[in-house]
């Protein structure tokens, strides 16, 4: 079974670059460019992993992550935060939320991101849909 990844990223160029790399690596990719669209997509698709930008239109990434973690359907979803700022400048609310990695986008190539995703999503990891 192909692993599902949802990319929530307002920069369409970055989102396309991630999609190209990850689809070529065998992942199923969905993309949203705003916070509400991203949350809706995650709830309906229940991906194995979310690449979540912090600064998004209409709802920030930390708010999206909070909504994901508050629901039973979102507890098993892996999340990698992608941001343009160092972690020390990220919203304080992130300190109380569960996620796998915090990456400054400028510091990671798509190939490096792919390696991190492969570490986070082992091939034998099972994932089941939970009633949303």
pLDDT at position 34 over 90: yes
Report the SS3 class of residue 37. Answer: helix
pTM of the model: 0.87
pLDDT at position 4 over 80: yes
Could you report the per-residue pLDDT of 41-69, keeping only the tens digit for each? 999 999 999 999 988 989 988 899 999 99
Please check whether residue 97 is in contact with residue 71, taking contact to mean a CB–CB distance below 8 angstroms.
Answer: no
Q: Where are the domains of the chain?
A: 22-120
The class (CATH top level) of 22-120 is alpha beta
Residue 88 to residue 81: CA distance in whole angstroms: 13
Could you report the per-residue pLDDT of 64-94, keeping only the tens digit for each? 999 999 999 999 999 999 988 655 655 565 6
Question: For residue 112, what are its two tokens?
Answer: 């490096």
């Amino acid at each position: 079974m192909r692993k599902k990844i949802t990319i929530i990223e307002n920069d369409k160029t970055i989102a396309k670059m991630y999609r190209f790399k990850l689809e070529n690596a065998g992942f199923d990719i969905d993309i949203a460019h705003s916070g509400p669209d991203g949350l809706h997509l995650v709830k309906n698709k229940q991906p194995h992993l979310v690449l979540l930008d912090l600064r998004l239109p209409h709802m920030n990434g930390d708010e999206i992550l909070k909504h994901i973690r508050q629901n039973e359907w979102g507890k098993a979803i892996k999340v990698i935060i992608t941001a343009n700022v160092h972690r020390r400048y990220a919203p304080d609310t992130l300190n109380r939320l569960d996620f796998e990695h915090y990456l400054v986008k400028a510091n990671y190539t798509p190939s490096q991101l792919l390696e991190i995703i492969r570490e986070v999503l082992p091939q034998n990891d099972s994932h089941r849909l939970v009633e949303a």
